[in-house]
Amino acid sequence: MSLLDYFRSSKKSSTAATAKERLQIIVAHQRSQRDTPDYLPLMKQEIIQVIRKYVPISEEQVSVQLDQNDDNLSVLELNVTLPDH
Amino acid sequence: MAQIIVVTSGKGGVGKTTSSAAIATGLALKGHKTVVIDFDIGLRNLDLVMGCERRVVYDFVNVINGEANLNQALIKDKRCDKLFILPASQTRDKDALTKEGVGKVLADLSKDFEFIVCDSPAGIETGAMMALYFADTAIVTTNPEVSSVRDSDRILGMLQSRSRRAEDNLEPIKEYLLLTRYSPARVKTGEMLSVEDVQEILAIDLLGVIPESQAVLKASNSGVPVIIDQESDAGQAYTDTVSRLLGEDIPLRFTSEEKKGFLKRIFG
């Protein structure tokens, strides 16, 4: 890096910091999905389709979560926020 | 019993084959009988990087199918008599690798070798899953770049759920980070993720940092693992990596910018 570059680059903000921030978010998201079964995304889609037959909802209004409490018991938690009207 | 090491990454082009060749050669140079296996069925390249492409007669799939025995397929390295290469097949058959077949070959090799290095293909298809399935240790090769880091995290998930050790509830695979193509100068100017950044995101132990180096291309051009070139920074960094793999505690090198002369600092 030359002296000229030094003056130029010091003004810009670091793109590495942006990369790190973006990665931390996507990796955290990836890890939260890590232990869920492969069928979960498709099942979520189908549940949304069924609800949409009756109520107009968007994907963000449905959260599907699978919690493994112990070896014999898994709990599927379905949370739907219905619109006011 | 041999230690089975998988060199993996998820993303392609980050330096898996370069690293497999260098690390296997380094282990053998330290006196450990080592075999390096190319799992990239259909896209064989380890033989080229190791410089033995003209000596391939039988391959991994031939051995699995019983068309050749291990002694016929193993290629003895011409530089180091403790090192052997098992080349990949060029078949287009996607199902050439089976869990039973790979398991049997690895079990046979285990009787004879101290280290088995598995050079994984990119992606998360059969070849990659077979390469990591039987591993005791994983070297996750990563470039300091967003897509490579993300894919490495995906592979870490696979190591923890899709491996033999995970399925049999054994002690988990030991996971190491190998950061390749690192440019300390670009890290300093804030253009590249630092070692610490990548380590913080992936949260696994660091095995080594290989600097971006012209020596790597020169080495593969001539079919000589870059670790043989001990004049080069990359060669020395791989030697350090191998020592750490063998349990030695060695400080990192080539992670800060080298000092430049006065004129170079002004004119670049």
- Tell me whether residues B190 and A3 touch, CB distance under 8 A: no
Residue B263 is predicted with a pLDDT of 67
Find chain B residues with C-beta within 8 A of A13's C-beta. Answer: 190
For chain A, the domains span: 1-34, 38-85
**Binding residue ranges of B for ATP:** 11-18
Residue-level pLDDT at A3: 62
Annotated binding site of B: 11-18
B194/A contact by beta carbon, under 8 A: yes
3-state helix, strand, coil in chain A (%, to 5): 50, 20, 30
With contacts defined as CB-CB under 8 Å, which chain B residues touch A3? 265-266
Q: Is B157 on the interface with A (CB under 8 A)?
A: yes
- At residue A63, the pLDDT reads 83
DSSP class of residue A20 equals: H
pLDDT at A11 over 50: no
Whether pLDDT at A7 is above 70: no
Domains of chain B are 3-266 (3.40.50.300)
- The verdict on a CB contact (< 8 Å) between A20 and B201 is yes
Instruction: Give the E-state strand segments of chain B in sequence order.
Output: 3-8, 34-38, 75-76, 83-86, 115-119, 137-142, 174-182, 205-211
Which residue has 């492969």 as its token pair?
A: A38
**What per-residue confidence (pLDDT) applies to B160?**
94
What pLDDT is attached to residue A2?
A: 60
Q: What is the pLDDT of residue B39?
A: 97
- Please answer whether residues B104 and B111 qualify as being in contact, where contact means their C-beta atoms are separated by less than 8 angstroms: no
Give the right CATH number for A38-85 from 3.40.190.10, 3.40.30.10, 1.10.1740.10, 3.30.1070.10: 3.30.1070.10
Residues facing residue B142 across a β-bridge: B179
Residue A26 near chain B (CB below 8 Å): yes
What does the pLDDT read at residue B118?
Answer: 98
Mutation target vs B (from A1, A8, A12; most B CBs, 10 A cutoff) = A1
Q: Does residue B22 contact residue B238 with C-beta atoms inside 8 Å?
A: yes
In angstroms, the CA B235 to CA A84 distance is 66
State percent of chain A over pLDDT 90. 21
Q: How far is B191 from chain A (nearest CA, A)?
A: 5
Q: Do A1 and B189 touch (CB under 8 A)?
A: yes
- Give CA–CA dist B69/B40, Å, rounded: 20
In a mutagenesis test of the A interface, which of B201, B204, B265 is the best target, namely the one with the most A β-carbons within 10 Å?
A: B201
| Measured distance CA(B149)–CA(B11) in Å, rounded | 9
Contact across the interface for A16 and B268, Cβ inside 8 Å: no
Inter-chain residue contact A5 with B192, CB threshold 8 Å: no
Backbone angles phi, psi at A47, to 5 degrees: -60, -40
Looking at residue A75, its pLDDT comes to 85
How does pLDDT run across A15-54, given as a tens digit for each residue? Answer: 999 999 999 999 998 888 877 777 888 888 898 889 889 9
What is this structure's pTM? 0.86
pLDDT along chain B (268 residues), means of 10: 96 97 98 98 96 96 96 96 96 88 97 98 95 98 98 96 95 98 96 97 97 97 97 98 97 84 66
B contact test, residue of A27, A31, A38, A71 with most B CBs within 10 A: A27
**A69 touching B, CB under 8 A?**
no
CA distance B193 to B191: 7
Record: contact A16-B265, CB cut-off 8 A? no
Contact (CB, 8 A) for B155 and B140: yes
Shortest distance, CA B265 to any CA of chain A (angstroms): 5
